[in-house]
Amino acid sequence: MHDHEPDALERRVQELESLLVKRGYVDPAALDRLIETYEHEIGPHNGAQVVARAWTDPDYKARLLADGSAAIAELGFTGRQGEHMVVVENTAQVHNLVVCTLCSCYPWPVLGLPPVWYKAPPYRARAVIEPRIVLAEFGTDVGMDVELRVWDSTAEIRYLVLPERPAGTEHWDAAALAGLVTRDAMIGVARIAAP
């Protein structure tokens, strides 16, 4: 249920959904199940669990960086669009940014559906050409002393950024840490702020 007036795009989606249901092309129960799956079973909360585990378990982190697919699967996050995962780590010296220049290849099992801006041609082009400017537009300043690496996801390989663990969280457990992790930090357009 929405507590706001739908915008033009939301209205178009609602009208299209209504038309597809009315004509018998879509089963409303199947559609509801699909939405429920992406809201509760697939999404950034899964990626946040992966990141929090890596922050609290050095052995898991080593496995994650060596073979992202296998380590992510250890936590039960597998499936379509997540078969071949590479995890890249942000540090004080290196900042990673993920883009798909061809379309919108994206690791659904750990990040859910891609945000609209990720699929938009301006992000796809500018993230490669002028990544520091794009990051600044997201509010993320990456100094010239930090190496910036841009990773191009493809149908064969998808990337997940392991953000830097924020200072002041040394004694936090994995569940509390997962609450700090954002989708944007796992794409690399944001950092996780210290609590």
Q: How many domains does the chain have?
A: 2
36/114 same-domain check: no
* Pick from 122, 127, 126: nearest CA to 161: 127
Return the structure tokens found at 179.
């609450």
85/144 same-domain check: yes
35/68 same-domain check: no
Note the pLDDT of residue 38.
66
Tell me: the pLDDT tens digits for 17-65? 888 888 988 888 887 777 776 666 778 999 999 999 999 999 999 999 9
Note the pLDDT of residue 12.
83
Q: Where are the alpha helices (DSSP H) in the chain?
A: 8-22, 28-36, 44-56, 58-66, 68-74, 108-111, 116-119, 121-129, 131-137, 174-178, 183-187
In a domain, 194, yes or no: no
pTM over 0.85: no
Rounded to whole angstroms, the Cα distance separating 111 from 187 reads 9
Note the pLDDT of residue 184.
97
* Pick from 77, 76, 68, 128: nearest CA to 98: 128
In a domain, 62, yes or no: yes
How distant is the alpha carbon of residue 110 from its chain centre? 7
Rounded to whole angstroms, the Cα distance separating 178 from 192 reads 11
What residues are labeled active site? 100, 103-105
Which residue stretches of the chain have pLDDT < 70? 1-6, 37-40, 82
65/147 same-domain check: yes
34/48 same-domain check: no
In a domain, 53, yes or no: yes
In a domain, 34, yes or no: yes
Show the domain range for 176. Answer: 43-187
CATH label of the domain that carries residue 105: 3.90.330.10
108/29 same-domain check: no
81/149 same-domain check: yes
Note the pLDDT of residue 126.
97
